[in-house]
Amino acid sequence: MRQVTAPREERPLLTAVASAGDAALLAEVVELRARNEQLGRALATRAVIDQARGMVMVLAPCSSARAWDLLVGVSQHCNIKLRDVAAALVATTKDETLPEEIQRELRRALRRLHAADRG
């Protein structure tokens, strides 16, 4: 039987389930709560990524798919998570400076995009 640990607020439920002898249910509850938290984080970061995608579409101008590819490329070239690249870009709307590495790679990516459109 695998041992499952849980946050303090889950322990009363887990104790009740464990005392009933249903370890499979206990594991499922813990797994579902973890998945629920992960999905919540994904939804929150998705909004920021979509905002950044819209910004790129205005800057470029380009399709949503091309804006996505551009952001992914910047993320990969800078070795920075996509959500962090997007958050940095969106933060520029609040007078925050875009980190130099992201700024440099974004310029390169936009130049490549414009060159591909001309060629």
- Domains in the chain: boundaries: 49-118
d(CA 110, CA 115): 9
pLDDT at position 20 is 55
Location of structure tokens 């579409």: 57
pLDDT at position 2 is 46
Per-residue pLDDT of the chain (119 residues; tens, 9 = 90+): 444 555 555 556 555 555 556 778 888 888 989 999 988 887 888 999 999 999 999 999 999 999 999 999 999 999 999 999 999 999 999 999 999 999 999 999 999 988 888 87
Whole-model pTM: value is: 0.69
Q: List the structure tokens of 108.
A: 């390169």
* Amino acid, single-letter form, for residue 112: R
* Amino acid, single-letter form, for residue 102: I
